[in-house]
Amino acid sequence: MKKIAISSGHGLHVRGANGFIDEVNEARRVVDRVCDLINMTGVNRSVQFHDDVSISSPDNLRAIVNWHNSQNRDIDVSVHFNAFGQSSANGVETICRDASNQEFAHRMSQAIADASGMNVRAPQGGATLRGVQFRTNLFVVNGLQSRPMLLLEICFVTNQRDADLYNENFEAICQAIANTLIN
């Protein structure tokens, strides 16, 4: 049995990206549905966290990291949505610290793309596989060093096509995330 801790990015009072869809609202929807799907297997278990209390970004980041670190879990996942000033930026990517989780991150990005029709972003930050970005400057990623940790960037809220594909394929995306986490 895998135990998976999943959090939504940002918080009720510390809003994330906004565009054609709202990051906080949609991250919460994804987390709720993915946890339901995982827990329905009867074999795996997931727990979830949404920050409804923090009123500053530093407090929000600490709340997410502290919650994850308080869980007995095998995998940490934080669900986010991307944004960029140019509406042409698009696609799905998964952020991890380094090559130790690169294959897992690549499988996750590819599964979301296959389920939605979105593009898989080019590797970034030294990663060699598509849909993967290595980041060592994110508090959430660095704060969870003892476990496999993935930060999902499901799509760009500032890209109409991404937002439409996300909305049209919400259930398939959630299924793909859940399946990738438990297999």
Instruction: Give pLDDT tens digits for 41-91.
Output: 988 899 999 999 999 999 999 999 999 999 999 999 999 999 998 899 999
What single letter denotes the amino acid at residue 95?
I
Hey, what are 164's tokens?
A: 């439409």
Q: What number is the average pLDDT over the span 15-22?
A: 95
Dihedral (CA of 83, 5, 104, 118) sign: negative
Parent domain of 11: 3-182
Sheet holding 132-134, edge to edge: 45-51, 3-11, 75-82, 149-156, 93-96, 132-134
Q: What does the DSSP 8-state code read for residue 5?
A: E
As a whole number, the mean pLDDT across the chain is: 95
Q: Which residues of 53-73 are buried (b: 16+ CB within 10 A; e: fewer)?
A: ebeeeeebbbbbbebbeebeb
Structural domains counted in the chain: 1
**Residue 117 is part of a domain; what is its CATH number?**
3.40.630.40
pLDDT at 154 (0 to 100):
98
Average confidence (pLDDT) over 140-165: 91
Cα torsion 45, 36, 43, 3 to 10°: value is -20
What contacts 127, CB < 8 A, 6 or more positions away? 99, 102, 105, 133, 134
Range 11-36 average pLDDT: 97
Q: What is the pLDDT of residue 74?
A: 94
Q: Does the pLDDT value for residue 146 go beyond 70?
A: no
Q: Is 90 exceeded by the pLDDT of residue 145?
A: no
Task: Give 3-state DSSP helix, strand, coil % of the chain, rounded to 5.
Answer: 40, 25, 35
| pLDDT for 130 beyond 80 | yes
Q: Nearest CA to 131 among 94, 178, 85?
A: 94
Question: Can you give the pTM of this predicted structure?
Answer: 0.96
Tell me the average pLDDT across 119-125. Answer: 98
Per-residue confidence (pLDDT) for residue 143, from 0 to 100: 86
Closest of 97, 45, 52 to residue 71, by C-alpha = 45
Average pLDDT score over residue span 5-27: 96
Q: Please, which pLDDT band fits residue 136 given cuts at 50, 70 and 90? A: confident
